[in-house]
Structure 1
Amino acid sequence: MSFQVEGKTAVVTGGSSGIGLAAVELLIKGGASVAWCGRDEARLLHSKDYILQKYPEAKVYTQSCNVLDKSDVTRFAEAVKSKLGNVDMLINNAGQGRVSNFENTQDEDWLKETELKYFSVIFPVKAFLEQLKQSDCGSITNVNSLLALQPEPHMIATSAARAALLNLTHSLSHEFVQYGIRVNSILLGMVESAQWKRRFEQRSDTELNWEQWTANIARNRGIPMQRLGKPEEPAHALVFLASPLASYTTGSTIDVSGGFNKHL
């Protein structure tokens, strides 16, 4: 199925691994020009090499960028416009979860979580907004978490910040409709990531392989599909919402949690 992104230009923040890189690859396969950024220079270079080896004709641009540094993001946006032209699709994908309950969450940790979840979206939106206004299919798509609607006591600060991001996404969808820019998000459940890989390497039961170990986690957490998601699965939802295929969808979310949601 075509996502109808051929000839379009997309930006993916946090695009050097995991869900972000999976979204980059889907967009390139669909014929889009893609820019992506990340803080880890080595990982960024590796991701670019990986893409160009598979898609040598792809139009790509990468740049090391801290999405919490406004001037850094502004420079990235200017470079993207210079290299690839105005952007049609912005996918905001940055930030890991913080494991802590109320008692062991320090005051500064609440601020750090809010900054990470909020300004990793606000700064890119500000930097690329004028470019998106020039597009005939402008879109902003945010990677969010099921925690926004289904908070976990052991991730209290992250849950609160995720709920704030969901609210912000909905507000922007209404404000930006005047510019023809759609704003949506996906809500992640438990997805395979570098974090889970590190935990697997430190597991106590070394007799279990990756599939068995993650399946046990999924069953114990009550995920009906009894497995963790794979990065390409939320990436498909992201690219769909970003693409012209979702032309009548704004202020919406797609739940990508394997049925883990407990709400209607």
Structure 2
Amino acid sequence: MTNAMTNLSGKVAVVTGGSSGIGYATVELLLQAGAAVALCGRDTQRLDSAAATLRAAYPQARLLAQPCDVLDAEQVAGFADRVQAELGAASILVNNAGQGRVSTFADTTDEEWTEELQLKFFSIIRPTRAFLPQLQSQAGTGANAAIVCVNSLLALQPEPHMVATSAARAGVANLVRSLATEFAASGVRVNGILIGLVESGQWRRRFDARPADEQDLDWTQWSQRLARKKHIPLGRLGLPEEAARAILFLASPLSSYTTGSHIDISGGLSRHV
């Protein structure tokens, strides 16, 4: 029964920020579940490399990769048109874009506030606006229509050294709830995940720039030390595929009676019941 409920054959899924990290892991799981997948990203070279790897691993898959800045309404609209023309109407949209900004209130400029809020909100607003007609058309045929937004535990547990990102993430949680209520009547579910510390290029870069007294640590030792410092009960950073599994659940009929919610993927870091 579980396999049948995660069989997405005949479905079209869209993943923004799909060329690396959680987005890439999500694309892989969606392909494994039988979906046709369209992914986009801003870095053309990284996108092409990801697409080549995916096509080699899944030669029978229907895959579309297109450079796209999700903050550019015209580019997003063009991406949506191409998805419908080449793959068919999307029934799954995974909004996954943006990384954290490390800054306090004292050192965050007005321009940085504007940039952060725009990224976190419009990376969801613009793809959702562009793909909503497709999602609604699929919901009407009895297909599973779902939007999944990748959010952060910062939405519930703000950090003073990430003040702008924390504030924006809280707003995204509210946005997910609002969209879920509005779209329910047209059969489109909207949910999100709250990630804690998950392995990513950003953390790898911090590892590469580690101070002299940590140079003797390899990645596993360094990341485990970081997890202890951050008081993560499971004692390690999460893996992109662990977040991707939660996304697949929320995108599939397994969660057909779930909307307006978030799944915690933080290794126990959350202090909320």
- Give the TM-score normalised by structure 2: 0.96
**What is the count of residue pairs matched by the alignment?**
264
Look up the equivalent residue of 1:233 and give its one-letter code: E
1:244 CA drift (Å): 1.3
Distance 1:243 1:112 in 2: 33
TM-fit CA distance, 1:206: 1.4
Map of 1:143 onto structure 2: 150
Question: What SS does structure 1 have at the residue aligned with 2:121?
Answer: helix
- Cα deviation code 1:166-222 (max 9, x no counterpart): 000000000000110000000000000001111111112111111000000000010
Indicate which of 115, 119, 126 corresponds to 1:116: 119
1:214 to 194, 217, 223: 223
1:77 to 67, 73, 80: 80
User: For 1:126 and 1:4, how far apart are their aligned partners in 2?
Assistant: 26
Match of 2:46 among 43, 46, 53: 43
Matched, 1:132 2:139: no
Instruction: Quote the Cα distance in structure 1 between the aligned partners of 2:114 and 2:171.
Output: 13
Any idea what the Cα deviations from partners look like across 1:56-85, whole Å, max 9, x if unmatched?
Answer: 010000100000000000000000001100
- The Cα of 1:263 is off from its aligned counterpart by 1.4
Identify the match of residue 66 of structure 1 among 48, 65, 69. Answer: 69
Q: Which residue of 2 aligns with 1:226?
A: 235
Alignment check: 8 A CA contact 1:191 1:231 kept:
yes
Which residue of structure 1 lines up, in the alignment, with residue 195 of structure 2? 188
Distance 1:109 1:262 in 2: 29
Match of 1:166 among 162, 168, 173: 173
Is 1:247 the counterpart of 2:256? The answer is yes
How many percent of aligned residue pairs carry the same amino acid? 55
Matched letter for residue 244 of structure 1? P
Task: Choose from 96, 99, 102 the match for 2:99.
Answer: 96
* Secondary structure at the counterpart of residue 5 of structure 1: coil
- Asked whether the 8 Å contact 1:4–1:245 carries over to 2, the reply is no
Structure 1 runs of 4+ aligned residues shifted over 3 Å read none
Partners of 1:126 and 1:195 lie apart in 2 by 29
Q: Which runs of 5+ in 2 are unaligned?
A: none
Give CA deviations for 1:206-258 in whole Å, capped at 9, x if unaligned.
Answer: 11111000000000010000100010000000111011111000001100000
Distance across 2 between alignment mates of 1:89 and 1:129: 10
- CA positional deviation for 1:4: 2.5
Aligned-residue CA RMSD (Å): 0.7
Gaps of 5+ in 1: none
Cα deviation for residue 114 of structure 1 reads: 0.7
1:33 corresponds to 2:36:
yes
2:8 aligns with: 5
1:148-159 equivalences in 2 (<5 Å): 148-159=155-166
Following superposition, the deviation at residue 55 of structure 1 comes to 0.6
Q: Distance in 2 between matches of 1:259 and 1:146?
A: 11
Structure 2 counterpart of 1:178, which letter?
A
What is the CA distance between 1:7 and its match in structure 2?
1.6
